[in-house]
């Protein structure tokens, strides 16, 4: 799978994640759920050849590391800018807000900047690097939200009041 199928998978995941994040959702205590999508995306990304340009290996690895760092920072910041609160039943809920949208936009700009730098350097980048970066973002985001959900001092009591849920 490459090219168009990867683009469809990436677009579908982004749409599903954005729609899900901007609605109040119950933080699932089931540890097995939040990491499944990132692991599947990561597996799809690394199983395909072309993740590293064989003609520009050092530059391709540097760009991939930069992409993964952008993904990690974006995912963690995304989770920290989401509201985390307990509802009336005591269930922990989370919802992204305006600050989260700014984080997404900033991460996208950084990713496009790295892709542009790679293109200027003649480094061929496949869609696998985008999928891997998205997987890292989702993995870190899920981990940080789960961490916040398990720390009472980082959870707002009541109907989602507060901007950072701390």
Q: What percent of the chain has pLDDT over 90?
A: 54
Q: What is the mean pLDDT of residues 105-131?
A: 91
Q: Which pLDDT tens digit goes with each residue over 45-57?
A: 998 888 888 999 9
Out of 11-15, 34-38, 137-141, the most confident range is: 137-141
Query: What is the dihedral sign for C-alpha 114, 116, 117, 118?
Result: positive
Spatial distance between the Cα atoms of 69 and 124, rounded to a whole number of angstroms: 19
Q: Using N-to-C axis directions, what is the helix angle for 127-149 and 57-80, rounded to 10°?
A: 30
Asked if residue 21 has pLDDT above 90, the reply is no
Q: What percent of the chain has pLDDT over 70?
A: 92
Question: How is residue 40 written in tokens?
Answer: 């599947």
Asked if residue 165 has pLDDT above 50, the reply is no
Asked if residue 118 has pLDDT above 80, the reply is yes
Q: Which residues contact residue 138 at a Cβ distance below 8 angstroms, ignoring those fewer than 6 apart?
A: 13, 17, 37, 38, 41, 75
Confidence of residue 163 (pLDDT cuts 50, 70, 90): very low
Q: Which residues contact residue 13 at a Cβ distance below 8 angstroms, ignoring those fewer than 6 apart?
A: 37, 41, 134, 138
* pLDDT value, residue 164: 42
DSSP-assigned states of every residue in 77-100: HHHHTSEEEE-TTS-EEEE--HHH
* pLDDT value, residue 62: 95
Helix, coil or strand: residue 55: coil
Q: Which residues contact residue 25 at a Cβ distance below 8 angstroms, ignoring those fewer than 6 apart?
A: 93, 94, 95
Question: How is residue 142 written in tokens?
Answer: 């899920």
Spatial distance between the Cα atoms of 34 and 139, rounded to a whole number of angstroms: 8
């Amino acid at each position: 799978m490459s090219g168009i199928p990867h683009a469809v998978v990436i677009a579908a995941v982004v749409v599903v994640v954005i729609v899900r994040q901007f609605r109040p959702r119950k933080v699932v205590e089931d540890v097995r759920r939040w990491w499944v999508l990132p692991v599947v995306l990561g597996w799809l990304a690394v199983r395909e050849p072309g993740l590293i340009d064989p003609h520009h290996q050092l530059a391709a690895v540097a760009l991939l590391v930069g992409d993964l760092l952008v993904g990690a920072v974006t995912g963690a910041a995304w989770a920290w800018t989401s509201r985390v609160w307990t509802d009336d039943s005591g269930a922990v809920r989370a919802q992204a807000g305006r600050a989260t949208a700014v984080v997404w936009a900033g991460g996208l700009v950084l990713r496009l900047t790295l892709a542009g730098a790679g293109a200027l350097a003649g480094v061929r980048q496949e869609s696998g690097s985008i999928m891997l970066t998205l997987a890292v973002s989702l993995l870190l985001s899920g981990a940080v939200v789960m961490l916040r959900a398990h720390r009472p001092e980082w959870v707002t009591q009541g109907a989602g009041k507060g901007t950072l849920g701390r």
